Structure 1
Amino acid sequence: MAQTTEGSGTDSAQTRSGKLDEIVVTARRREENVQSTPIAVSAFGAEALEERNMQSSSDLTNFVPNVQFDNAASESGGGASSQISIRGIGQTDYVVTVEPGVGVYMDGVYVGKSMGSLLDTVDIERIEVLRGPQGTLFGKNTIGGAIQLFSKRPTSTLEAGAELTTGSYNRFDAKGYISGPLADTVRLRLSGAYQSRDGFVKRTTPDGEPTGERQGNMNRLSGRLVLEADLSDNLMATLALDATRIREQTPGSILLKANDEDGLPYLFALGVPGGVCLPEAGDSRFDNPYCYNSQYVTDLDSKRTATSGPNQSDTDVKGGSIVLDWSGGAVDLKSITAYRDVQVDIGQDLYSSPYFFGTIEQDIDWTQFSQEFQASGDFADGRLSYVAGLFYSHEKATQYFPVDLLLVQFLSGGKVRNDSYAAFGQFTYEATDALSLTLGARYTIDERRFNPGLQKLVGYDYDPTLEIPGFVNVIDGAFGAPGSPLFPAGWYKRTSKSFTPMITASYDFTPDVMGYASYSKGFKGGGFTMRYFPAVVPEPGTDPDDIISYAGPEKASAFEVGLKSELFDRRLRLNVAAFYTDYKDIQVTYVIDPDGEGPIGEFVPVLANAGTAHIKGIEVETSFVPTEWLRIDGSLGYIDAKYVSFTEDALANFPNAESLSLPNTPKWTAHVGATLTMFDNDSGHLFARGDYSYRSGQYKEFSNEPSLYQEAYGLLGASMTYEAASRAWQLTVGGTNLTDETYIVSGETSSEYTRGFVSRPREWYASVKFSF
């Protein structure tokens, strides 16, 4: 957890006083000590992020109990996408019709979709991770929890800094900032960063020779401007602008399974002359490069793929917000007006074969406007405090989703128009000096619209990466004429209303020990199935609105008890939370055979409410400063998550569903880290940091595909930093994944193939930082 200097809201790399410093968070929309906040929350300040070498928000997965934060959503192909699960609740799909299960906030602004939600930590002041439903203050899509990132603020004196980093895979990072006053009442902070490194998954020819192309690189340019102006003695305006430009290859993916006895691979084999690729050809087909089968499957450790199709992941993210803060004594008012724009252009190959290929592209344009008003304050000599507000958001998106298979091509995707309205309030009453009661509620109206009118059958062109002489497309014309719509055009609308209350009681047993119990509810917005193939043609007289596939909102009710303590003269911090969650109407993305007994196989992903689960667990977080030169941090998480019921449709597609495990939900997560000071005197400051994180086995998608089961693994990172006595410069050398563990970050599966996105290998880095 972050250390913050008492009252300042900034953290220190080392607790030089020999005691733990206060941690200030805004988990309840007001600043308060984390030890008096009756919520399971972890916080990391700027120097804590730097010590742990946390380069992006996804690195939180190594340090926070019961959090799984994957830096590439399955099938997404990049796009700064993520899939996040907290306490077993999250999402694995990235398309614009599917809502996330964990809310991501940047300076109080909600980031509404998976694409563009992977944020770097450049010039970040603090990150907070709130676990459990946050439906009252944060609203929809925080059913699993919320993650808040806060930018560094402009300073009242002139400051500047720069940092250069080199390392493995030709890594080169450059970061810099300048901050200070423009006038007596105006302050500015400008920061920027460039981050690059080579890809680590090699593309090869069919005989295993490298082609020179790679996947999994980094190439990002970002900038942020924050301008503060004191418009009057009690009114401040803050303008924040940010932009990120990403020009990368697709994430490193490995083919883990290939099946030539079903679906399109089997139809492809029928078209290869002489039947040499059919199962009847026997083992000889596994040596024929024309055939699509397990000959292209490789181990994760191989870091290679025979993919030869597109290799592009371009993303542009832009955002802006204006915040007005008015302080009026008993009442403080805040207005947050924000706009975000995410544009994605991705091309990738699914099947990892140079002859039989399946290319998907993503052309996504998503924008979001949001407005929030907050009122906060206290009455009764400070014994009654409150925060209340109104929220509105409007988002629109277009997702062109071309699917270019060797045998058939079609255009998927659609247009989205969504509106969300909410009113909320939360009140805390200090009944006695020791007992506090909190009551809150939020009412949300969610309107979702989807138009699949752009979806159509494109054609049956045979245009392979490498041509097979004499090949015949055996399904030419089988799914209708080119240009045929895949689903009737039109705007389809669904409206949901949700009431999400919470109640909490906390009690200070001593000035340093607080216990609490809470009940809270949350919900995740509904979503339309985006992908259709083959064409869905309603029976005469049937209203398409009656058959369009839609999954209603998820719901969760959570009970939590916790204990927060600081012992031994603030040398030991020990926080414990136990929870039970009733998780209903779970939205699941799984693949089905759309034409029943037809030739396609399990190929098309659908979104559906599949069932109910009960989730219980415990979390422990601790920090210990036994001496001035040593600090130890640790956490432990345990989850027991079980499905308890399923819908008939889910059981029809997955008869064994009740025996499945929730995806992205390792039973155990743990972390231990230490900061060791060698010296801190007139010669400077030398300290070392080491971190080890562990997570037990987990499945990466709903159906529990065996090849996407990630066994237990642990990650080790370490660094050493020297800071000059003048504090003007510092030098750091370190390494990540020092034991060179290989693991699945995310993955996708069908009856035809399974593909996993693989972790980065062991890497070293060295950085030098200057302050002016």
Structure 2
Amino acid sequence: MKNHTSRVWLGVCLPALLAPQIAFAQAEPQSVDSTGTSAENEVELGVGDIVVTARKRKETSNNVGMSISAFTGDTLAQKGITGVDQLVKAVPGFNYTRSAYGSPVFTLRGIGFNETSLAASPTVSVYVDEVPLPYSVMTQGAALDMQRVEVLKGPQGTLFGQNSTGGAVNYIAARPTDQLEAGLDVTVAQYSQVEASGFVSGPISSTLRARIAARKEYGGDWQQSASRPGDTFGKTDRVQARLLLDWDASDRLKLSFNLNGWRDKSDPQAGQFVGLISGRAPAEMRAQRPTVGNARIADWDAGTNFYTNDDFWQIAVRGDYEVADDLTLTSITAYEKMRRDTYVDADGTPVQNFAAANFGSIKTFSQELRIAGKAGSAVNWMIGGNYQHDDTYDVFQPHAVTSSFPFDIASAIGANKVDSYAVFGNVDWELASGLTLNGGLRYSWQDRGYTGCLYDSGAGDLAAVVSATSTRLSGTPTTIAPGACVTLSTKTFKPEVFVSDLNERNLSWKVGLNWQVTPRHLLYATVSKGYKNGVFITTGATFAAQLQPATQESVVAYEAGFKLGLFGRTMQLNGAAFYYDYKDKQIRGRVIDPVLGGLNRLINIPKSRIAGAELQLTWEPVDGLNISAGGTYVGSKILGNFSNFTPLGRQIAMSGDPFPLTPAWQLSGDIQYDTPVSESVNVFVGAGATYQSRTNSALGQEPLFDVKQYTLVDLRAGIHANDDSWRISVFARNLGNAYYWNNVAFNGPDAAIRFAGRPRMIGVSGSYRLR
């Protein structure tokens, strides 16, 4: 901790060292956005245009040669989108899956990583004001008090680093203001759901501004036990808060400070039993029947306190020093810590076939230093470097009293220490009027150390079973003490703690050509390569071979697209076609040991591909009428001669199969009409719909793991002041009460379970702004 503390203080002090001196008598302050750029010389925006920082400088979204879905915070709030998981409603190609233990899995255009270990790096990285949240379990509070969100599709490794092969989600927090402002939002809905959020923003002095924001979510039980009428579950209890400070330290130096955190004490969602995956399941499990048809009906062990008690905090400091008129030095420093403590029912039955306690911690320090400038009027360039240190400690404790496992409780422990380094550069060169060549490189290297083992609970039941296995395989007597490590070396077949490291290097790159045919018509083409680092997982490994890492995966992405402003800038039509050459995709599967047979572990699929296309439309045909629509087709396929095991234990050829949890079609649409009814009041009515085609959650496409297609419809209506100082609305989410799910999990020894989406919810919300 001492080393982490010194790193934090270094990061706090480093931005101040960027300037030779700090003058405290300053001119009038300017509003600063998240990039440290003064908010002047704004470009003229058309419909669907948002100023973004996708390339770490200020541009309009429809003048950037990549596929971007960007929305203001107000737009998302009005549509009821208040979390990263709900971006499915607005972003074509974005998919959210809830894992068996509650951690989120984000997928873009078919690239995702469904793994629950704390140290499992994602393929879609999430940032807040360009500060990374390197693990998906950290992202719960990212959407608090937003100015906008930018979803960047395709590999973003050159500017956002590895682990963004699918893309990146960049949240931009609403900044402190020059004038006093305040706001309050309250939502009340079915199942005793109450959400209240608010902010206060304004100047502290002529050079210092502050913003405080907070949100509290609380809800009653929404799930009902299938076996015990009257027994309910599923409360919501979350709180988030953020303090921002912006300081104009001098005419050339701007500093930003961010302290934020969240706490989650909600009930973990209970699953619905789907069916058995093992012929060795005990009689109590063979008597269970699938739960179907009602999202609220689930089951869990009677009299057991399943819970979530997670928390997270982060401190970040950013400094932007204008070395010269066209030369800016930027430092971004952050330290964050998360603690996980959950106990989850993972079999969907009243029998304790499989429950899981997960607890551990993540500590991350990151530092980026970059310099950006111009060479004449034709070239924009940037060079920089990153350092990140991650320290994770992860405990996975299965509880399997009534199961085919030969023990009641065990503890799998995995610890990672990771140092990541990178240097990068990016350049945009206008070759001729309207024709721009852009390119970027990032060289990354990562050193990862891992220690892991499966431990007996102290009861001695697991130790006795593995002792007998070790004696048989090694040919010499083995006695493992109760509570000791039971993971067997695959060389000696004796118990030992598994210690290993993984040192990887890679070069991400991107080349693109943009043709601004007219100020409102852009054509572009890009080729890029990105990497996701290799990873060790935390799992109940009786043999060390199960803890061997999956090595880094890579994607070469080809994309061509257009962005067209039409009909006097009342319509924006964007489209793209893409092809991804995927190497060494990481996924849970099995490896064959010549002595031990099939062993569950993380593996690499050598060759696969994704081909697809997307279309996004924003249209305002008349004043007050806004129509948006989007659709994505993703065709994923495993290539080569790849075979592996399904969750039911069948070894089959999987070449030609699509990826798990990758629907081919995703469609969304929204329409809203807003019109004045007096000089000061408007009324509005709106509707949104999302569609996802069928998919399957496992290798091998077993029907038991099908995820059916579904369509969700939301409605909203209300009144608001024409300056939006207040707003009242009623809403219905999942109006048709569709029964759907987005995952079928199989983490335990005997049962497959699904997690149903929320049923219909009707509520009312109101907001007030003091300006």
TM-score, normalised with respect to structure 2: 0.86
CA distance in 2, matches of 1:238, 1:763: 39
Alignment of 1:612-691 (within 5 A): 612-646=607-641, 654-679=651-676, 681-691=678-688
Instruction: Indicate the residue corresponding to 1:3 in structure 2.
Output: none
* Aligned positions, number: 702
- 1:146 maps to amino acid: A
Shift of 1:533: 3.3
Change (3 A) 1:553 1:211: same
Change (3 A) 1:18 1:388: closer
Instruction: Indicate the residue corresponding to 2:357 in structure 1.
Output: 361
CA distance in 2, matches of 1:336, 1:372: 5
Cα deviation 1:47-106 (Å, max 9, x = unaligned): 111121102111111221111122x2x222x3xx21011111111002023221111111
Contact 1:256/1:707 (<8 A) preserved: yes
Change (3 A) 1:596 1:202: farther
Cα deviation 1:452-471 (Å, max 9, x = unaligned): 15x312255899xxxxxxxx
CA distance in 2, matches of 1:413, 1:203: 32
Moved >4 Å (runs of 4+): 7-10, 459-463, 473-481, 591-598, 646-653
Q: Is 2:354 the partner of 1:336?
A: no
Indicate the SS of the match to 1:501. Answer: strand
Change (3 A) 1:591 1:647: closer
Contact 2:285/2:353 (<8 A) preserved: no
Which of 97, 108, 115 does residue 86 from structure 1 map onto? 108
Unmatched tracts of structure 1, length 5 or more: 1-6, 11-16, 270-276, 278-290, 464-472, 537-545
Shift of 1:326: 1.2
- 2:513 maps to amino acid: A
Change (3 A) 1:300 1:701: farther
Which of 97, 104, 111 does residue 126 from structure 2 map onto? 104
Shift of 1:486: 3.1
Cα deviation 1:147-181 (Å, max 9, x = unaligned): 11111000000011112211111011111110000
Give the fraction of aligned pairs with identical amino acids, expressed as a percent. Answer: 26
Indicate the SS of the match to 1:35. Answer: helix
Alignment of 1:262-273 (within 5 A): 262=280, 265=281, 269=282
Indicate the SS of the match to 2:433. Answer: coil
Instruction: Indicate the residue corresponding to 1:147 in structure 2.
Output: 169
CA distance in 2, matches of 1:122, 1:9: 22
Q: Is 2:205 the partner of 1:210?
A: no
Indicate the SS of the match to 1:497. Answer: strand
Contact 1:690/1:718 (<8 A) preserved: yes
CA distance in 1, matches of 2:296, 2:589: 27
Change (3 A) 1:398 1:597: closer
Instruction: Indicate the residue corresponding to 2:752 in structure 1.
Output: 754
Change (3 A) 1:236 1:159: same
Change (3 A) 1:87 1:151: same
Q: Is 2:756 the partner of 1:731?
A: no
Shift of 1:647: 5.0
Shift of 1:241: 0.7
Indicate the SS of the match to 1:50. Answer: helix
Q: Is 2:209 the partner of 1:187?
A: yes
Contact 2:642/2:653 (<8 A) preserved: no
Change (3 A) 1:55 1:681: same
Contact 1:447/1:493 (<8 A) preserved: yes
CA distance in 2, matches of 1:659, 1:199: 43
Cα deviation 1:211-253 (Å, max 9, x = unaligned): 52313x3210110000011110110110001110110111231
Q: Is 2:48 the partner of 1:35?
A: no
Cα deviation 1:17-60 (Å, max 9, x = unaligned): 99626311111111101111001000010111112110211111
Contact 1:292/1:356 (<8 A) preserved: no
Cα deviation 1:116-159 (Å, max 9, x = unaligned): 22345331111111111111111110011111111100000001
Change (3 A) 1:238 1:710: same
Change (3 A) 1:340 1:446: same
CA distance in 2, matches of 1:298, 1:176: 40
Shift of 1:356: 4.3
Alignment of 1:420-431 (within 5 A): 420-431=420-431
Q: Is 2:447 the partner of 1:439?
A: no
CA distance in 2, matches of 1:383, 1:398: 49
Instruction: Indicate the residue corresponding to 1:281 in structure 2.
Output: none
CA distance in 2, matches of 1:705, 1:485: 35
- 1:442 maps to amino acid: R
Change (3 A) 1:535 1:438: closer
Instruction: Indicate the residue corresponding to 2:245 in structure 1.
Output: 227
CA distance in 1, matches of 2:197, 2:692: 32
CA distance in 1, matches of 2:124, 2:355: 30
Instruction: Indicate the residue corresponding to 1:403 in structure 2.
Output: 398
Q: Is 2:448 the partner of 1:452?
A: no
CA distance in 2, matches of 1:336, 1:198: 40
Q: Is 2:727 the partner of 1:708?
A: no
Shift of 1:650: 6.7
CA distance in 2, matches of 1:259, 1:746: 16
Change (3 A) 1:410 1:610: same
Instruction: Indicate the residue corresponding to 2:372 in structure 1.
Output: 376
Contact 2:707/2:743 (<8 A) preserved: no
Shift of 1:337: 0.2
Shift of 1:649: 6.3
Q: Is 2:769 the partner of 1:771?
A: yes
Instruction: Indicate the residue corresponding to 1:285 in structure 2.
Output: none
Instruction: Indicate the residue corresponding to 2:257 in structure 1.
Output: 239
CA distance in 2, matches of 1:331, 1:125: 26
Instruction: Indicate the residue corresponding to 1:75 in structure 2.
Output: 100
Indicate the SS of the match to 2:100. Answer: coil
- 1:516 maps to amino acid: Y
- 1:344 maps to amino acid: R
Which of 341, 359, 362 does residue 345 from structure 1 map onto? 341
Indicate the SS of the match to 2:265. Answer: strand
CA distance in 2, matches of 1:704, 1:689: 38
Shift of 1:261: 2.2
| Cα RMSD after superposing both structures | 2.7
- 1:504 maps to amino acid: G
Change (3 A) 1:447 1:106: same
Unmatched tracts of structure 2, length 5 or more: 1-36, 470-479, 488-495
Shift of 1:757: 1.4
